[in-house]
Structure 1
Protein backbone atom coordinates (compact mmCIF):
# COMPACT_ATOMS: atom_id res chain seq x y z
CA UNK A 1 0.00 0.00 0.00
CA UNK A 2 1.24 3.48 -0.83
CA UNK A 3 -0.44 6.86 -0.41
CA UNK A 4 1.03 10.28 -1.07
CA UNK A 5 -0.92 13.49 -0.55
CA UNK A 6 1.11 16.66 -1.05
CA UNK A 7 -1.19 18.69 1.18
CA UNK A 8 -4.49 18.05 2.98
CA UNK A 9 -6.67 20.73 4.54
CA UNK A 10 -9.82 20.47 6.65
CA UNK A 11 -12.52 23.11 6.29
CA UNK A 12 -15.20 23.21 8.98
CA UNK A 13 -18.15 24.83 7.20
CA UNK A 14 -19.98 25.75 10.40
CA UNK A 15 -21.13 29.40 10.38
CA UNK A 16 -19.92 29.76 6.77
CA UNK A 17 -16.30 29.42 7.83
CA UNK A 18 -13.85 29.86 4.92
CA UNK A 19 -10.51 29.33 6.69
CA UNK A 20 -9.23 25.75 6.29
CA UNK A 21 -6.82 24.12 8.74
CA UNK A 22 -3.79 22.12 7.66
CA UNK A 23 -3.83 18.40 8.43
CA UNK A 24 -0.22 17.18 8.04
CA UNK A 25 -0.77 13.45 7.55
CA UNK A 26 2.88 12.44 7.87
CA UNK A 27 3.26 14.36 11.15
CA UNK A 28 0.61 12.25 12.88
CA UNK A 29 0.55 8.67 14.09
CA UNK A 30 0.06 6.71 10.87
CA UNK A 31 -1.66 3.34 11.06
CA UNK A 32 -3.19 1.05 8.49
CA UNK A 33 -4.41 -2.37 7.51
CA UNK A 34 -3.55 -4.10 4.27
CA UNK A 35 -6.20 -6.12 2.49
CA UNK A 36 -5.72 -9.86 3.00
CA UNK A 37 -7.26 -10.51 -0.42
CA UNK A 38 -8.90 -8.65 -3.27
CA UNK A 39 -12.30 -8.72 -1.58
CA UNK A 40 -11.09 -7.19 1.70
CA UNK A 41 -10.90 -3.54 2.67
CA UNK A 42 -7.62 -1.72 3.13
CA UNK A 43 -7.39 1.26 5.49
CA UNK A 44 -4.88 3.94 6.37
CA UNK A 45 -5.25 6.69 8.97
CA UNK A 46 -3.34 9.52 10.57
CA UNK A 47 -3.99 10.73 14.13
CA UNK A 48 -2.80 14.08 15.46
CA UNK A 49 -3.01 15.18 19.10
CA UNK A 50 -3.12 18.93 19.64
CA UNK A 51 -1.58 20.73 22.63
CA UNK A 52 -5.04 21.45 24.07
CA UNK A 53 -5.82 17.72 24.19
CA UNK A 54 -7.91 17.66 21.03
CA UNK A 55 -7.34 14.47 19.00
CA UNK A 56 -8.02 14.48 15.25
CA UNK A 57 -8.04 11.42 13.00
CA UNK A 58 -8.38 11.25 9.24
CA UNK A 59 -9.08 7.77 7.88
CA UNK A 60 -9.24 6.40 4.33
CA UNK A 61 -11.07 3.19 3.43
CA UNK A 62 -10.29 1.35 0.19
CA UNK A 63 -12.10 -1.58 -1.38
CA UNK A 64 -12.33 -3.39 -4.70
CA UNK A 65 -15.34 -3.61 -6.95
CA UNK A 66 -16.30 -4.56 -10.46
CA UNK A 67 -17.20 -1.46 -12.42
CA UNK A 68 -18.43 -1.06 -15.97
CA UNK A 69 -15.89 0.94 -17.96
CA UNK A 70 -16.49 1.48 -21.68
CA UNK A 71 -19.06 -1.36 -21.75
CA UNK A 72 -16.64 -3.80 -20.12
CA UNK A 73 -16.70 -5.00 -16.50
CA UNK A 74 -13.36 -4.18 -14.91
CA UNK A 75 -12.01 -4.98 -11.45
CA UNK A 76 -10.94 -1.69 -9.87
CA UNK A 77 -9.97 -0.38 -6.48
CA UNK A 78 -11.76 2.64 -5.04
CA UNK A 79 -11.33 5.06 -2.19
CA UNK A 80 -14.86 4.43 -1.00
CA UNK A 81 -14.92 6.37 2.27
CA UNK A 82 -13.16 9.21 4.06
CA UNK A 83 -13.76 9.55 7.81
CA UNK A 84 -12.82 12.47 10.05
CA UNK A 85 -13.01 12.03 13.83
CA UNK A 86 -12.37 14.73 16.41
CA UNK A 87 -12.27 13.98 20.15
CA UNK A 88 -12.12 16.56 22.92
CA UNK A 89 -13.00 16.62 26.62
CA UNK A 90 -14.72 13.23 26.54
CA UNK A 91 -16.91 13.95 23.51
CA UNK A 92 -16.38 13.07 19.88
CA UNK A 93 -17.63 14.11 16.45
CA UNK A 94 -17.58 11.80 13.42
CA UNK A 95 -17.94 12.97 9.83
CA UNK A 96 -18.04 10.57 6.86
CA UNK A 97 -18.32 10.76 3.10
CA UNK A 98 -21.46 9.37 1.44
CA UNK A 99 -21.61 5.58 1.18
CA UNK A 100 -22.43 5.79 -2.52
CA UNK A 101 -19.49 8.03 -3.39
CA UNK A 102 -16.43 6.89 -5.31
CA UNK A 103 -13.69 9.40 -4.55
CA UNK A 104 -10.67 7.86 -6.27
CA UNK A 105 -10.72 4.83 -8.53
CA UNK A 106 -8.26 3.05 -10.82
CA UNK A 107 -7.67 -0.41 -12.31
CA UNK A 108 -6.66 -2.87 -9.61
CA UNK A 109 -2.95 -3.01 -10.44
CA UNK A 110 -2.48 0.69 -11.21
CA UNK A 111 -1.79 3.66 -8.99
CA UNK A 112 -4.01 6.72 -9.10
CA UNK A 113 -2.29 10.00 -9.95
CA UNK A 114 -4.02 13.38 -9.97
CA UNK A 115 -2.48 16.79 -10.55
CA UNK A 116 -5.62 18.74 -9.68
CA UNK A 117 -7.32 19.66 -6.41
CA UNK A 118 -10.02 17.26 -5.19
CA UNK A 119 -12.54 18.19 -2.49
CA UNK A 120 -14.55 15.63 -0.52
CA UNK A 121 -17.59 16.62 1.55
CA UNK A 122 -18.15 14.80 4.86
CA UNK A 123 -21.41 14.74 6.83
CA UNK A 124 -22.42 13.83 10.37
CA UNK A 125 -25.70 12.52 11.74
CA UNK A 126 -25.34 14.73 14.81
CA UNK A 127 -24.46 18.06 13.21
CA UNK A 128 -26.21 20.20 10.61
CA UNK A 129 -23.00 21.43 8.97
CA UNK A 130 -20.47 19.60 6.83
CA UNK A 131 -16.69 19.33 6.69
CA UNK A 132 -14.67 19.65 3.52
CA UNK A 133 -11.48 17.63 3.07
CA UNK A 134 -9.34 19.30 0.42
CA UNK A 135 -6.58 17.35 -1.34
CA UNK A 136 -4.01 19.49 -3.11
CA UNK A 137 -1.97 18.11 -6.01
CA UNK A 138 -0.04 15.97 -6.38
CA UNK A 139 -2.08 12.91 -5.34
CA UNK A 140 -0.46 9.48 -5.70
CA UNK A 141 -2.29 6.44 -4.29
CA UNK A 142 -2.05 2.68 -4.78
CA UNK A 143 -3.64 0.55 -2.04
CA UNK A 144 -3.51 -2.81 -3.86
CA UNK A 145 -0.85 -4.74 -5.71
CA UNK A 146 2.82 -3.98 -6.43
CA UNK A 147 3.89 -0.67 -7.92
CA UNK A 148 3.05 -0.40 -11.59
CA UNK A 149 2.14 2.13 -14.24
CA UNK A 150 -0.14 4.98 -13.27
CA UNK A 151 -3.74 5.91 -14.00
CA UNK A 152 -4.23 9.65 -14.57
CA UNK A 153 -7.41 11.00 -13.01
CA UNK A 154 -10.25 12.17 -15.24
CA UNK A 155 -10.00 15.80 -14.16
CA UNK A 156 -6.29 16.06 -15.00
CA UNK A 157 -6.78 14.27 -18.32
CA UNK A 158 -9.55 16.66 -19.34
CA UNK A 159 -7.54 19.71 -18.30
CA UNK A 160 -4.43 18.48 -20.10
CA UNK A 161 -6.45 17.80 -23.25
CA UNK A 162 -8.11 21.22 -23.02
CA UNK A 163 -4.74 22.96 -22.60
CA UNK A 164 -3.35 21.03 -25.57
CA UNK A 165 -6.32 21.92 -27.79
CA UNK A 166 -6.12 25.55 -26.74
CA UNK A 167 -2.41 25.64 -27.60
CA UNK A 168 -3.05 24.05 -30.99
CA UNK A 169 -5.90 26.48 -31.64
CA UNK A 170 -3.63 29.44 -30.85
CA UNK A 171 -0.93 28.14 -33.20
CA UNK A 172 -3.51 27.46 -35.93
CA UNK A 173 -4.95 30.99 -35.64
CA UNK A 174 -1.44 32.43 -35.89
CA UNK A 175 -0.76 30.45 -39.06
CA UNK A 176 -4.07 31.57 -40.60
CA UNK A 177 -3.33 35.23 -39.84
CA UNK A 178 0.15 34.92 -41.36
CA UNK A 179 -1.21 33.28 -44.51
CA UNK A 180 -3.94 35.92 -44.79
CA UNK A 181 -1.34 38.69 -44.62
CA UNK A 182 0.78 37.03 -47.31
CA UNK A 183 -2.25 36.54 -49.58
CA UNK A 184 -3.24 40.18 -49.11
CA UNK A 185 0.26 41.41 -50.03
CA UNK A 186 0.50 39.13 -53.08
CA UNK A 187 -2.97 40.18 -54.24
CA UNK A 188 -2.02 43.83 -53.90
CA UNK A 189 1.11 43.29 -56.02
CA UNK A 190 -0.81 41.38 -58.71
CA UNK A 191 -3.44 44.10 -58.99
CA UNK A 192 -0.74 46.72 -59.52
CA UNK A 193 0.93 44.58 -62.18
CA UNK A 194 -2.07 43.36 -64.20
CA UNK A 195 -4.37 46.39 -63.96
CA UNK A 196 -2.65 49.30 -65.78
CA UNK A 197 -5.26 51.90 -64.85
CA UNK A 198 -4.78 51.04 -61.18
CA UNK A 199 -1.01 50.80 -61.58
CA UNK A 200 -0.89 54.46 -62.64
CA UNK A 201 -3.08 55.39 -59.68
CA UNK A 202 -0.79 53.52 -57.25
CA UNK A 203 2.30 55.21 -58.74
CA UNK A 204 0.69 58.64 -58.35
CA UNK A 205 -0.09 57.82 -54.72
CA UNK A 206 3.50 56.72 -54.18
CA UNK A 207 4.80 60.03 -55.58
CA UNK A 208 2.43 62.00 -53.35
CA UNK A 209 3.67 60.12 -50.28
Structure 2
Protein backbone atom coordinates (compact mmCIF):
# COMPACT_ATOMS: atom_id res chain seq x y z
CA UNK A 1 0.00 0.00 0.00
CA UNK A 2 1.27 3.48 -0.89
CA UNK A 3 0.28 6.32 1.43
CA UNK A 4 0.43 9.95 0.25
CA UNK A 5 -0.32 12.79 2.65
CA UNK A 6 -3.13 15.08 1.56
CA UNK A 7 -2.83 18.79 2.33
CA UNK A 8 -5.69 21.20 2.80
CA UNK A 9 -5.93 24.63 1.22
CA UNK A 10 -3.98 26.06 4.17
CA UNK A 11 -0.32 25.48 4.87
CA UNK A 12 -0.95 23.00 7.68
CA UNK A 13 -1.43 19.31 6.92
CA UNK A 14 -4.96 17.97 6.95
CA UNK A 15 -6.00 15.16 9.23
CA UNK A 16 -6.90 13.14 6.12
CA UNK A 17 -4.53 11.04 4.05
CA UNK A 18 -4.84 9.43 0.65
CA UNK A 19 -4.00 5.85 -0.20
CA UNK A 20 -3.49 3.58 -3.18
CA UNK A 21 -4.25 -0.09 -2.73
CA UNK A 22 -3.22 -2.92 -5.05
CA UNK A 23 -2.50 -0.39 -7.83
CA UNK A 24 -6.25 -0.22 -8.51
CA UNK A 25 -8.09 1.48 -5.65
CA UNK A 26 -7.61 5.06 -4.51
CA UNK A 27 -9.20 6.63 -1.46
CA UNK A 28 -9.04 8.82 1.60
CA UNK A 29 -8.68 8.06 5.29
CA UNK A 30 -9.51 10.15 8.32
CA UNK A 31 -6.98 10.93 11.02
CA UNK A 32 -8.15 7.94 13.04
CA UNK A 33 -7.40 5.61 10.11
CA UNK A 34 -11.03 5.01 9.11
CA UNK A 35 -11.63 4.92 5.35
CA UNK A 36 -14.01 7.70 4.36
CA UNK A 37 -13.80 7.23 0.57
CA UNK A 38 -12.86 4.37 -1.72
CA UNK A 39 -12.86 4.44 -5.53
CA UNK A 40 -12.02 1.56 -7.86
CA UNK A 41 -12.31 1.88 -11.63
CA UNK A 42 -10.19 2.22 -14.74
CA UNK A 43 -10.56 5.39 -16.78
CA UNK A 44 -9.72 6.36 -20.34
CA UNK A 45 -9.85 9.86 -21.82
CA UNK A 46 -11.02 10.39 -25.38
CA UNK A 47 -10.33 13.82 -26.87
CA UNK A 48 -12.85 14.06 -29.71
CA UNK A 49 -11.09 16.95 -31.44
CA UNK A 50 -10.71 16.29 -35.18
CA UNK A 51 -12.87 13.15 -34.83
CA UNK A 52 -10.18 11.39 -32.82
CA UNK A 53 -11.27 7.86 -31.84
CA UNK A 54 -8.26 6.62 -29.86
CA UNK A 55 -8.66 6.98 -26.07
CA UNK A 56 -5.72 7.41 -23.69
CA UNK A 57 -5.40 5.63 -20.35
CA UNK A 58 -5.61 7.79 -17.24
CA UNK A 59 -4.23 5.57 -14.49
CA UNK A 60 -5.62 7.16 -11.33
CA UNK A 61 -3.29 5.38 -8.84
CA UNK A 62 -0.22 6.71 -10.71
CA UNK A 63 -1.08 10.33 -9.92
CA UNK A 64 -0.94 12.53 -6.84
CA UNK A 65 -4.14 11.76 -4.93
CA UNK A 66 -5.89 14.64 -3.18
CA UNK A 67 -9.36 15.32 -1.89
CA UNK A 68 -11.57 15.78 1.11
CA UNK A 69 -13.95 13.58 3.02
CA UNK A 70 -17.47 14.78 3.69
CA UNK A 71 -17.62 16.06 7.30
CA UNK A 72 -21.33 15.22 7.38
CA UNK A 73 -24.03 13.68 5.22
CA UNK A 74 -24.97 16.98 3.61
CA UNK A 75 -21.46 17.98 2.49
CA UNK A 76 -19.53 17.31 -0.70
CA UNK A 77 -16.81 14.70 -0.96
CA UNK A 78 -14.03 15.19 -3.52
CA UNK A 79 -11.16 13.09 -4.81
CA UNK A 80 -8.73 13.83 -7.63
CA UNK A 81 -5.65 12.43 -9.31
CA UNK A 82 -2.99 14.60 -10.97
CA UNK A 83 -0.45 13.11 -13.37
CA UNK A 84 2.59 15.05 -14.57
CA UNK A 85 3.88 14.06 -18.00
CA UNK A 86 7.55 14.09 -19.01
CA UNK A 87 6.98 17.11 -21.28
CA UNK A 88 5.75 19.23 -18.35
CA UNK A 89 2.07 18.79 -19.11
CA UNK A 90 -0.15 18.06 -16.08
CA UNK A 91 -3.51 16.31 -16.26
CA UNK A 92 -6.03 16.24 -13.42
CA UNK A 93 -9.20 14.22 -13.14
CA UNK A 94 -11.52 15.23 -10.30
CA UNK A 95 -14.69 13.56 -9.03
CA UNK A 96 -17.25 15.47 -6.95
CA UNK A 97 -19.83 13.63 -4.85
CA UNK A 98 -22.85 14.99 -3.01
CA UNK A 99 -26.00 13.68 -1.34
CA UNK A 100 -29.65 14.32 -2.06
CA UNK A 101 -33.03 13.15 -0.83
CA UNK A 102 -34.73 11.10 -3.54
CA UNK A 103 -38.14 9.48 -3.79
CA UNK A 104 -37.66 5.72 -4.17
CA UNK A 105 -40.69 3.42 -4.09
CA UNK A 106 -42.80 6.06 -2.29
CA UNK A 107 -40.16 6.52 0.40
CA UNK A 108 -37.70 9.41 0.77
CA UNK A 109 -34.17 8.03 0.69
CA UNK A 110 -30.86 9.82 1.19
CA UNK A 111 -28.55 8.83 -1.65
CA UNK A 112 -25.05 9.83 -2.66
CA UNK A 113 -24.32 10.83 -6.24
CA UNK A 114 -21.32 11.36 -8.46
CA UNK A 115 -22.71 14.48 -10.07
CA UNK A 116 -19.61 16.13 -11.52
CA UNK A 117 -16.46 15.02 -13.31
CA UNK A 118 -13.80 17.63 -14.10
CA UNK A 119 -10.78 17.23 -16.38
CA UNK A 120 -8.04 19.88 -16.32
CA UNK A 121 -4.97 19.95 -18.54
CA UNK A 122 -2.18 22.49 -18.03
CA UNK A 123 0.80 23.16 -20.27
CA UNK A 124 3.19 26.09 -20.80
CA UNK A 125 1.17 28.47 -18.64
CA UNK A 126 -2.20 27.76 -20.27
CA UNK A 127 -4.97 25.47 -19.11
CA UNK A 128 -8.11 23.79 -20.43
CA UNK A 129 -11.02 22.81 -18.19
CA UNK A 130 -13.75 20.35 -19.17
CA UNK A 131 -16.73 19.55 -16.94
CA UNK A 132 -19.76 17.29 -17.00
CA UNK A 133 -23.25 18.75 -17.09
CA UNK A 134 -24.42 20.06 -13.70
CA UNK A 135 -27.72 18.23 -14.06
CA UNK A 136 -26.14 14.84 -14.72
CA UNK A 137 -26.07 12.01 -12.18
CA UNK A 138 -23.35 9.56 -13.17
CA UNK A 139 -23.36 7.15 -10.24
CA UNK A 140 -25.95 6.97 -7.48
CA UNK A 141 -26.62 4.62 -4.56
CA UNK A 142 -28.14 4.66 -1.06
CA UNK A 143 -25.88 6.53 1.36
CA UNK A 144 -24.67 3.45 3.23
CA UNK A 145 -24.05 1.32 0.15
CA UNK A 146 -21.23 1.11 -2.33
CA UNK A 147 -21.97 1.35 -6.04
CA UNK A 148 -20.95 -1.64 -8.15
CA UNK A 149 -21.23 -1.81 -11.94
CA UNK A 150 -19.95 -4.43 -14.37
CA UNK A 151 -20.68 -2.40 -17.49
CA UNK A 152 -18.92 0.45 -19.25
CA UNK A 153 -20.13 3.99 -18.49
CA UNK A 154 -19.20 7.02 -20.60
CA UNK A 155 -19.47 10.65 -19.47
CA UNK A 156 -19.21 13.61 -21.85
CA UNK A 157 -17.37 16.73 -20.65
CA UNK A 158 -17.60 20.18 -22.25
CA UNK A 159 -15.58 23.38 -22.06
CA UNK A 160 -16.66 26.99 -22.52
CA UNK A 161 -13.50 27.70 -24.50
CA UNK A 162 -13.44 24.73 -26.87
CA UNK A 163 -16.03 23.47 -29.35
CA UNK A 164 -15.15 19.78 -29.00
CA UNK A 165 -16.03 17.47 -26.09
CA UNK A 166 -13.94 15.06 -24.06
CA UNK A 167 -15.24 11.62 -23.20
CA UNK A 168 -14.38 10.01 -19.86
CA UNK A 169 -14.77 6.25 -20.22
CA UNK A 170 -15.24 4.19 -17.05
CA UNK A 171 -14.33 0.54 -17.56
CA UNK A 172 -15.70 -2.29 -15.40
CA UNK A 173 -15.28 -3.32 -12.66
CA UNK A 174 -16.60 -0.13 -11.04
CA UNK A 175 -16.66 -0.05 -7.23
CA UNK A 176 -17.32 3.26 -5.44
CA UNK A 177 -18.16 4.29 -1.86
CA UNK A 178 -17.58 8.00 -1.20
CA UNK A 179 -19.34 8.25 2.17
CA UNK A 180 -17.82 6.08 4.85
CA UNK A 181 -16.58 2.48 4.97
CA UNK A 182 -17.84 -0.03 2.44
CA UNK A 183 -20.99 -1.92 3.34
CA UNK A 184 -23.35 -4.03 1.24
CA UNK A 185 -23.40 -3.14 -2.44
CA UNK A 186 -25.87 -1.54 -4.83
CA UNK A 187 -25.74 -3.06 -8.33
CA UNK A 188 -26.15 -0.49 -11.09
CA UNK A 189 -29.32 -0.60 -13.16
CA UNK A 190 -27.49 -1.31 -16.41
CA UNK A 191 -25.82 -4.42 -15.00
CA UNK A 192 -29.05 -5.58 -13.34
CA UNK A 193 -30.95 -5.31 -16.64
CA UNK A 194 -28.22 -7.08 -18.59
CA UNK A 195 -27.92 -9.85 -16.01
CA UNK A 196 -31.69 -10.36 -16.00
CA UNK A 197 -31.79 -10.43 -19.80
CA UNK A 198 -28.97 -12.98 -19.97
CA UNK A 199 -30.68 -15.10 -17.31
CA UNK A 200 -33.97 -15.09 -19.23
CA UNK A 201 -32.14 -15.87 -22.45
CA UNK A 202 -30.35 -18.82 -20.84
CA UNK A 203 -33.62 -20.14 -19.42
CA UNK A 204 -35.26 -19.77 -22.82
CA UNK A 205 -32.39 -21.69 -24.45
CA UNK A 206 -32.68 -24.52 -21.91
CA UNK A 207 -36.47 -24.64 -22.33
CA UNK A 208 -36.16 -24.84 -26.13
CA UNK A 209 -33.62 -27.64 -25.78
CA UNK A 210 -35.94 -29.60 -23.50
CA UNK A 211 -38.87 -29.12 -25.90
CA UNK A 212 -36.80 -30.32 -28.87
CA UNK A 213 -35.59 -33.35 -26.92
CA UNK A 214 -39.12 -34.28 -25.86
CA UNK A 215 -40.37 -33.79 -29.44
CA UNK A 216 -37.66 -36.10 -30.78
CA UNK A 217 -38.46 -38.76 -28.19
CA UNK A 218 -42.19 -38.49 -28.92
CA UNK A 219 -41.52 -38.84 -32.65
CA UNK A 220 -39.41 -41.99 -32.13
CA UNK A 221 -41.95 -43.55 -29.76
CA UNK A 222 -44.81 -42.76 -32.16
CA UNK A 223 -42.90 -44.31 -35.04
CA UNK A 224 -42.31 -47.49 -33.02
CA UNK A 225 -45.96 -47.71 -31.97
CA UNK A 226 -47.22 -47.29 -35.53
CA UNK A 227 -44.87 -50.03 -36.72
CA UNK A 228 -46.01 -52.36 -33.94
CA UNK A 229 -49.78 -51.82 -34.01
CA UNK A 230 -50.41 -51.34 -37.74
CA UNK A 231 -50.04 -54.79 -39.43
CA UNK A 232 -49.64 -53.54 -42.98
CA UNK A 233 -46.86 -51.16 -41.90
CA UNK A 234 -45.24 -53.90 -39.84
CA UNK A 235 -45.31 -56.27 -42.84
CA UNK A 236 -43.85 -53.54 -45.05
CA UNK A 237 -40.95 -52.98 -42.66
CA UNK A 238 -40.31 -56.75 -42.39
CA UNK A 239 -40.28 -57.10 -46.21
CA UNK A 240 -37.77 -54.28 -46.40
CA UNK A 241 -35.58 -56.10 -43.91
CA UNK A 242 -35.62 -59.25 -46.13
CA UNK A 243 -34.53 -57.46 -49.30
CA UNK A 244 -31.17 -58.76 -50.60
CA UNK A 245 -28.20 -56.49 -50.23
CA UNK A 246 -27.08 -54.62 -53.36
CA UNK A 247 -23.45 -55.30 -54.25
Q: TM-score, normalised by structure 1?
A: 0.96
- Aligned residue for 1:140, secondary structure, equals strand
Alignment equivalent of 2:148, drawn from 101, 113, 116: 113
Going by fraction, where is helix more abundant, 1 or 2? 1
Q: 1:68 to 1:206 in 2, by over 3 A?
A: farther
Is 1:65 equivalent to 2:104 in the alignment?
no
Q: How many angstroms does 1:170 deviate by?
A: 1.4
Is 1:32 equivalent to 2:100 in the alignment?
no
Q: How many angstroms does 1:4 deviate by?
A: 0.9
- Aligned residue for 1:190, secondary structure, equals helix
Q: How many angstroms does 1:87 deviate by?
A: 0.8
Structure 2 residue aligned with 1:2? 38
Structure 1 residue aligned with 2:91? 56
Structure 2 residue aligned with 1:99? 134
What's the CA shift string for 1:54-84, capped at 9, x where partnerless?
Answer: 1110000000011122333211000000000
CA RMSD of aligned residues (A): 1.2
Alignment equivalent of 1:143, drawn from 150, 165, 178: 178
Give 1:7-22 correspondences, 5 Å limit: 7-22=42-57
- Aligned residue for 1:139, secondary structure, equals strand
Q: Gaps spanning 5+ residues in structure 2: where?
A: 1-36
- Aligned residue for 1:62, secondary structure, equals strand
Give 1:159-198 correspondences, 5 Å limit: 159-198=194-233
CA distance in 2, matches of 1:143, 1:108: 9
Q: How many angstroms does 1:115 deviate by?
A: 1.1
- Aligned residue for 1:165, secondary structure, equals helix
CA distance in 2, matches of 1:160, 1:176: 24
CA distance in 2, matches of 1:26, 1:193: 76
CA distance in 2, matches of 1:165, 1:78: 31
Q: How many angstroms does 1:146 deviate by?
A: 2.5
Q: How many angstroms does 1:147 deviate by?
A: 1.8
CA distance in 1, matches of 2:224, 2:79: 74
CA distance in 1, matches of 2:108, 2:69: 25
CA distance in 2, matches of 1:77, 1:141: 11
Alignment equivalent of 2:188, drawn from 136, 140, 153: 153
Alignment equivalent of 2:167, drawn from 132, 157, 161: 132
Q: How many angstroms does 1:206 deviate by?
A: 3.2
Q: How many angstroms does 1:53 deviate by?
A: 1.1
